Structure 1
Amino acid sequence: MALAARYRRAAIKQQLVTANWQSGNDITAQVRMRFSSAPAIILNTTANWAITPVKQQHWQLGWQVIPLQQQQVKLRWRQLPLQQQHTLTHWRMAALKQQQNVATWGVSALHTQQLQTGYIYPGITAKRFDLLWRTDGEVTRYYRLPYGPRPPSYICTQNYVPPSGKVTLRFIDPAQPQQGNVTLRFSNANNPIVCVLDNGGGLMPPSPEVPTIDTSRPIRPARRRSYIMQPQLRCYRVSDNLEINIISASWAINRSSWAANITLNCGSRIDRDRLLTGGPQLFKLVVNGYELFGLAENGSMSHSFGQSSWTITGRSSIAELASPNAAARSYTNTTSKSVAALITDELDNTGWSLNFDMLPFNVPAGAFSYQNKTPIEAIAQIVAGIGGMLYPDGSTNTLHVKPQWPVVPWGITIATADVAVHDDVILNYSESPASTPACNAVFVRGEQQGVECKVRRSGTAGDVLANDIVDPIITDQLAARQRGTAELAECGRKTQISITLPVMQDLPLCLPGTLLGVAWQTDIYKGMVDSVNLTASRNNDGSMTVRQTVGVIRSYE
């Protein structure tokens, strides 16, 4: 069975539909039907498929519920080199007119919420965590949480620290008899301030414990197979920081002198004259990072065939208070003053300050005087009279006064060395005997207003006397005790030792009064530094050599 259908557009006036039924090869029935569509249209159905022109019905799929107006969640992520990067997500819910959540991550320039974390190791200085909550442009809550290892610092207190041994109470005013109990009240107002170093850190310390001058650990250079040396020798004029070309330099000082003797070998006549123009000039000598200050006082020149040299000689910068740079005068104390005040009077209006590290005592009026002496000579007379020594620090313009023997020979065995050296850094070693009679007592007396005391070494009979000491500054038992201790410390069997050492970062200049620990071959001992001579020179091949020769007194007590 077959069905055929034909379709024609409006221009066709007649349309014929023919349906034939057949069985096999014979047509058993045939029906013909004719009609015309032009005069009347009974039923017309039209279906058009289009995308752009169709306007009748719009069907759009969105993510929404009709009653909602607007709700927005905004997520922004910002990192330092990026200026803007964000992602927007919109959805709507019922009954809400407007709601906005802002989450911002920023490092430096954001204002709504800031999260900042800083970490520096090993020198941690600050680490914090800041959170800001902001609504409608105003900060409603602020909270700061410090976090991280704390830096090293000193913790100081004026609370009473119990000393070791016995406590002695001295009452000046006579007591009034009374009945009942006597109540003693102690105040912390007059206690000294004691500072303890807090290494800081948290579970792990931020840096290793480095010994300082205030600790009881000696400065000890490490043992190495080889030491890489990078010598440095520089000289600058202090007034304008002008560098002076020098070829070699030497700097030497001992316990009995108040200034170091300095010699500079300049590279040219111009360099020599730069330190002498307009009078003596202050200069700064830098040797392997250590700064030494001096005053250029004299210049000289030496010439031979094909070779010339220009030399500057001077002393430490404290020489400004010595002849010929300062005038001599005579003085008598008209009022009672402490020994430190007498020294401070000599330093007035000089730019120098005093660090007095000895036992103070009072000097009565008229007990101390001198004739035709410069300020530094008068100070040296006072300090020598009480068994002390001087060291000028030109970097801070501070004059240090301390005992000639900070540690007495009979107490060296239990003392801690300031600097310890071993045979890996000892370049030259020599020794010679320097023994004196083993005295154990000495008489020390003043003059008109002085006191007379017999200073005896503790634990001895005091039967071997040293030569008597007479000095007008001995006006108190503390003055006699300090001077007598210095005299007895010089007595006994001793050895003068000369040790040549390099100057490195972990091996500084060994100044007079330093307690030096020495490990030389199989011999281990401690001695007092009596002198030091620092030399630095450039060789013909351009290399440089820096050495310090330390004079050490070893006592066999």
Structure 2
Amino acid sequence: MTASLVFRQPAVTSGRLVFGVDDGGSTGPVIPPVDLTLDGYFPDVEFTCELEYRSDTQRPMVASSQGGWQDAKHSPAGTAEQMQDAQKHPAGWQALWRKAANAGLPLRMPQPKVLQPDRRGTAGIYELAKRLHAAGRVDSQSGLPQHVWRLAAYEVALPDRLRVGFRHQDGLQDRRPQHTSRVQVALPWLVGLGTDFQEAAPSPVFWDSRFQPAAQPLVGISTPGGGGGPVIPPKDPPCYTPDPHLVFTSARALNGHLVFLCKVAVIAPPAHVVIPVRRAYIVRNTINLTRVDSGAEVQAHGFTMSLDYKSWTWSWSASLHHDAAPHLGRESNGDPAEFAVEVNGVPFRLRLERKGRDRRFLPQERWQVSGKGRAAILAAPWAPVLSFGNAEQRTAQQLAMEALTINGVSIGWDLDWQLQDWVVPGGAWALRGSYMDALNDIASAAGGYIQPHNTDRVLRVLPKYPVAPWDWPDVTPDFEIPSMAAEVEGTEFVDKPAYNRVFVGGQGIGVFGPMTRAGTPGDQIAPQVTHPLITAAGAQRQRAIAELADTGNQEIITLSLQVLPETGVILPGAFVRYAGEQTVMGIVRSTAINWTHPRLRQSLEIETHV
């Protein structure tokens, strides 16, 4: 290829080539030739370049100029890229954890055995009874010989006129040849007893037993009710009151099995805080808002704040007097203003994010403000987007603490860790996001969630279900509220599948397997759950409880009550027992404060299981 000079001006008659402006006498500046050199490393590269130079001067074509970099030869071989000539493999890319085959016999982990205490009745060592649905046990009766496989070895003995048949009572005192047992090899001694259950020494005057106190036998015959009568063993509390009718209170089993549970009457444990029943509850409601940096107090006409278990900080709003305008600006360092708020004496720290004039109450003008809690700075849009991970082995709590650092230096926040900790191998976890994104990911791996401290720079890491719902009757509630102190504002009926089994595990590394609720057939399988941080049995079990607990028939009860001195503001995660027409036990999922002078109420959403 050659380059051409294109002249747009008319040809000159003086025979000179003028580059630039022709002043009539001067030849003008002459542009020296420029050599262009292109250096680079291109493996077998073929390219074509074209250069056009326009000087806006008309000149006759007298010659052609050719640059050395233009003499490129066409190569028929072309350019071969090594990463392009890949052959398709019929197997494709395959992730190790994705191509698992369903096993007909699922794995059973030892941990599911502790998902629920065994509710079967406890048999006393003195019982000879057979389980009956409609009858109690007879503690001292002799069983039939054909049931010897269910009886203790020392309980089944054939009556013998020359022997004592019951080891729990004194026999006839005038007949003492020997004592024999069907389950032992006894030697015919006139004065001793050989047994597998004790080491007995020959004694001519008494028989020593491990199972009851023995006394020297008296002359004569012992009769029931006398001083030497039979020892009556203690009785276990019955599982139920005998009734000729079968009453089913649970949903029917889909596998055709009938599961009978011991329903022993359990007295509910007292709550940590019990609100007494009164004819009237009188509280002086106060809401105080004070700017932290200046100490200025602002007058509020109304105030609301709310928090639920899915949120990690408070949301609030207030209607302020028009005199509050000078106190609603930023702090001296440019940060949003921070307010110290007291709700009937309960302190909180809140950040101001928005303000606006409220002219609905003209001629009086108010300011409508809103914001979030202090933890808002840990999430978007205030917090930067960072990369998190663990190059070395760490515990989950250590990962959460490292997420609140920059180059190993703390950013000023601490954790109140209430989950069961577990070990995470190096390289198992990686995430890109804000500080709160990292904390939520770590907590949710084990079925936990994040809640803020009221005033301090502390985040509480809580389990969604500290105790599984099927064990709530044994839980000591944090608050017991009578119907006189609260009112039910609404009930939401939530029906979810009654799952009793779930497959939980990690991704790539860690543990994986089925987790089954104890005492159930495990025939209702929930959707599979995986997370990179489920690397140990502790995390697997906590996540399985959270998945299997949020199932079945539920009711979300909304209670409205005062902020009493005994309770203060009841936070999400607290257990509450409400004694109304029907006593219910549940866990608080959301809290909302609503104050319009002089009325102040807190509204609680409580999750209960039917």
Instruction: Report the TM-score, using the length of structure 2 for normalisation.
Output: 0.53
Alignment of 1:129-148 (within 5 A): none
In structure 1, what is the equivalent of residue 554 of structure 2? 494
Counterpart-to-counterpart distance in 2, 1:532 and 1:447: 36
Q: 1:418-444: per-residue Cα shift (whole Å, max 9, x none)?
A: 101011111443212111011001111
Letter in structure 2 aligned against 1:243: E
In structure 2, what is the equivalent of residue 525 of structure 1? 584
Alignment of 1:176-255 (within 5 A): 217-255=271-309
The answer to whether residue 415 in structure 2 is matched with residue 415 in structure 1 is no
Given that 2:324 and 2:367 are in contact with CA atoms closer than 8 Å, whether structure 1 keeps it comes out as no
Counterpart-to-counterpart distance in 1, 2:312 and 2:326: 25
Given that 1:218 and 1:416 are in contact with CA atoms closer than 8 Å, whether structure 2 keeps it comes out as yes
Deviation at 1:383, TM superposition (A): 0.8
Letter in structure 2 aligned against 1:359: Q
2:411 to 342, 350, 354: 350
Across the aligned residues of Structure 1 and Structure 2, the Cα RMSD in angstroms comes to: 1.9
In structure 2, what is the equivalent of residue 297 of structure 1? 353
Deviation at 1:407, TM superposition (A): 2.1
Deviation at 1:269, TM superposition (A): 6.4
The answer to whether residue 314 in structure 2 is matched with residue 260 in structure 1 is yes
Deviation at 1:307, TM superposition (A): 5.1
Structure label with greater radius of gyration? 1
| The 10-residue stretch of structure 1 (351-360 or 215-224) with the greater mean CA deviation from structure 2 | 215-224
Given that 1:245 and 1:271 are in contact with CA atoms closer than 8 Å, whether structure 2 keeps it comes out as no
Letter in structure 1 aligned against 2:499: C
Counterpart-to-counterpart distance in 2, 1:457 and 1:301: 56
Given that 1:272 and 1:299 are in contact with CA atoms closer than 8 Å, whether structure 2 keeps it comes out as no
In structure 2, what is the equivalent of residue 311 of structure 1? 368
Q: 1:40-60: per-residue Cα shift (whole Å, max 9, x none)?
A: xxxxxxxxxxxxxxxxxxxxx
Counterpart-to-counterpart distance in 2, 1:431 and 1:553: 10
In structure 1, what is the equivalent of residue 342 of structure 2? 286
Counterpart-to-counterpart distance in 2, 1:253 and 1:441: 31
Deviation at 1:500, TM superposition (A): 0.4
Deviation at 1:244, TM superposition (A): 2.3
Given that 2:289 and 2:339 are in contact with CA atoms closer than 8 Å, whether structure 1 keeps it comes out as yes
Q: 1:516 to 1:475 in 2, by over 3 A?
A: same
Q: 1:370 to 1:433 in 2, by over 3 A?
A: same
Letter in structure 1 aligned against 2:387: S
In structure 2, what is the equivalent of residue 210 of structure 1? none
In structure 2, what is the equivalent of residue 547 of structure 1? 601
Counterpart-to-counterpart distance in 2, 1:223 and 1:518: 12
Deviation at 1:339, TM superposition (A): 0.3
Q: 1:308-367: per-residue Cα shift (whole Å, max 9, x none)?
A: 432222111111212222211122211111100111112232222111111111111111
Q: 1:181-227: per-residue Cα shift (whole Å, max 9, x none)?
A: xxxxxxxxxxxxxxxxxxxxxxxxxxxxxxxxxx9742122222222
Letter in structure 2 aligned against 1:256: K
Given that 2:558 and 2:603 are in contact with CA atoms closer than 8 Å, whether structure 1 keeps it comes out as yes
Letter in structure 2 aligned against 1:293: R
In structure 1, what is the equivalent of residue 266 of structure 2? none
Given that 1:266 and 1:309 are in contact with CA atoms closer than 8 Å, whether structure 2 keeps it comes out as yes
Q: 1:396 to 1:437 in 2, by over 3 A?
A: same
Counterpart-to-counterpart distance in 1, 2:368 and 2:548: 41
Q: 1:15-63: per-residue Cα shift (whole Å, max 9, x none)?
A: xxxxxxxxxxxxxxxxxxxxxxxxxxxxxxxxxxxxxxxxxxxxxxxxx
Given that 2:271 and 2:480 are in contact with CA atoms closer than 8 Å, whether structure 1 keeps it comes out as no
In structure 2, what is the equivalent of residue 470 of structure 1? 530
- What are the ranges of 5 or more consecutive residues in structure 1 without an aligned counterpart? 1-164, 166-214, 539-543
Counterpart-to-counterpart distance in 2, 1:432 and 1:395: 32
Letter in structure 1 aligned against 2:508: Q
Alignment of 1:439-454 (within 5 A): 439-454=499-514
- Between structures 1 and 2, the one with greater strand share: 1
In structure 2, what is the equivalent of residue 85 of structure 1? none
% same residue:
26
Counterpart-to-counterpart distance in 2, 1:450 and 1:312: 48
In structure 2, what is the equivalent of residue 333 of structure 1? 390
Q: 1:244 to 1:532 in 2, by over 3 A?
A: same
Secondary structure, counterpart of 1:382 in structure 2: helix
1:369 to 388, 412, 430: 430
Counterpart-to-counterpart distance in 1, 2:306 and 2:429: 31
Counterpart-to-counterpart distance in 2, 1:275 and 1:387: 40
In structure 2, what is the equivalent of residue 183 of structure 1? none
Deviation at 1:467, TM superposition (A): 1.0
Q: 1:226 to 1:459 in 2, by over 3 A?
A: same
Counterpart-to-counterpart distance in 1, 2:489 and 2:454: 30
Deviation at 1:238, TM superposition (A): 2.0
In structure 1, what is the equivalent of residue 594 of structure 2? 535
Q: 1:257-294: per-residue Cα shift (whole Å, max 9, x none)?
A: 11121112221264475354533122111011111221
Secondary structure, counterpart of 1:516 in structure 2: strand
Instruction: Report the TM-score, using the length of structure 1 for normalisation.
Output: 0.58
In structure 1, what is the equivalent of residue 120 of structure 2? none
Q: 1:441-475: per-residue Cα shift (whole Å, max 9, x none)?
A: 11112112232121211111211011111211111
Counterpart-to-counterpart distance in 2, 1:327 and 1:437: 40
Equivalent pairs counted in the alignment come to 336
Deviation at 1:397, TM superposition (A): 2.1
Counterpart-to-counterpart distance in 2, 1:239 and 1:532: 28
In structure 2, what is the equivalent of residue 12 of structure 1? none
Counterpart-to-counterpart distance in 2, 1:383 and 1:324: 21
Counterpart-to-counterpart distance in 2, 1:275 and 1:437: 51
Letter in structure 2 aligned against 1:263: S
Given that 1:251 and 1:535 are in contact with CA atoms closer than 8 Å, whether structure 2 keeps it comes out as yes
Given that 2:449 and 2:461 are in contact with CA atoms closer than 8 Å, whether structure 1 keeps it comes out as yes
Alignment of 1:167-178 (within 5 A): none
Counterpart-to-counterpart distance in 2, 1:418 and 1:447: 38
Alignment of 1:391-406 (within 5 A): 391-406=451-466
In structure 2, what is the equivalent of residue 506 of structure 1? 566
Given that 1:436 and 1:491 are in contact with CA atoms closer than 8 Å, whether structure 2 keeps it comes out as yes
1:274 to 293, 306, 328: 328
Letter in structure 1 aligned against 2:426: A
Letter in structure 1 aligned against 2:413: W
Q: 1:330 to 1:289 in 2, by over 3 A?
A: same
Counterpart-to-counterpart distance in 1, 2:317 and 2:526: 38
- What are the ranges of 5 or more consecutive residues in structure 2 without an aligned counterpart? 1-116, 118-268
Given that 2:276 and 2:482 are in contact with CA atoms closer than 8 Å, whether structure 1 keeps it comes out as no
Secondary structure, counterpart of 2:473 in structure 1: coil
Secondary structure, counterpart of 1:413 in structure 2: helix
The answer to whether residue 380 in structure 2 is matched with residue 323 in structure 1 is yes
Deviation at 1:503, TM superposition (A): 0.3
Counterpart-to-counterpart distance in 2, 1:260 and 1:283: 13
Secondary structure, counterpart of 1:483 in structure 2: helix
Letter in structure 1 aligned against 2:288: R
Deviation at 1:476, TM superposition (A): 1.1
Letter in structure 2 aligned against 1:223: V
Deviation at 1:523, TM superposition (A): 0.6
Q: 1:333 to 1:495 in 2, by over 3 A?
A: same
